[in-house]
């Protein structure tokens, strides 16, 4: 029996972190935490106004997510976080060393279309360019997998589960 992983579902806005995260958690039999819930009100106000966050806005948010992930070590869990830069993922790993990333990736046009049709979210489509400009994909030395967001939520979740299984199998063989 392998120890349940703590998974950070990452990617630019509109890739489906909030949709795929709970589905993945259910498939893995672990709790889900919505990364947006860790933002202080000032961050949400800033993003709602169409102003991108800077690193000083993100550090406390990333630390809060990292502390949640650390508390789930050995128990498993799934949390969403854009985690766009390597430095942000390093910050998460500094607090929760065993986290594994599922990077939701996809065509910009598809993501923009999904963002334009979602209801009740504070992140405007206008910030998508800044998200893509900031994005640093997972490095080969980072524990994680990239999963394409084409298709429906169940299909994407299945790809994520299979990719994580492949990652666990590869780690066990080393």
Query: Each residue's pLDDT tens digit in the chain (174 positions)?
Result: 466 899 999 999 889 999 999 999 999 999 999 998 999 999 989 888 878 788 999 999 999 999 999 999 999 999 999 999 999 999 999 999 999 999 999 988 888 877 776 555 445 555 678 888 889 999 999 999 999 999 999 999 999 999 999 987 666 555
Residue 68 burial (CB count, 10 A): 20
CB 149 within 8 A of CB 156: yes
Question: Looking at residue 1, what is its pLDDT?
Answer: 44
Rounded to two decimals, the pTM is 0.89
Token pair 């169940």: residue: 154
What are the structure tokens assigned to 82, written together?
Answer: 């854009």
Structural Rg of the chain based on CA atoms: 15
Could you tell me where the DSSP H helices lie in 49-84? 55-71
Residue 81 CA, chain-centre distance (Å), reads 4
Q: How far apart are CA 147 and CA 158, in angstroms?
A: 10
Token pair 């990719």: residue: 163
């Amino acid at each position: 029996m392998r120890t349940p992983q703590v998974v950070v579902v990452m990617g630019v806005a509109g890739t489906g972190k909030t949709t795929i995260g709970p589905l993945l958690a259910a498939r893995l039999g672990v709790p889900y935490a919505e990364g947006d819930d860790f933002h202080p009100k000032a961050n949400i106000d800033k993003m709602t106004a169409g102003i991108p966050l800077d690193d000083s806005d993100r550090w406390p948010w990333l630390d809060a997510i990292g502390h949640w992930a650390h508390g789930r070590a050995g128990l498993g869990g799934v949390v969403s976080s854009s985690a766009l830069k390597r430095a942000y993922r390093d910050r998460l790993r500094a607090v929760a060393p065993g986290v594994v990333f599922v990077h939701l990736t996809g065509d910009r046009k598809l993501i923009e279309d999904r963002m334009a049709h979602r209801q009740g979210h504070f992140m405007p489509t206008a910030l998508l360019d800044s998200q893509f400009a900031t994005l640093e994909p997972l490095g080969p030395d980072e524990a994680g997998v990239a999963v394409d967001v084409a298709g429906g939520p169940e299909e994407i979740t299945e790809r994520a589960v299979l990719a994580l299984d492949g990652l666990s199998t590869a780690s066990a063989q080393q």
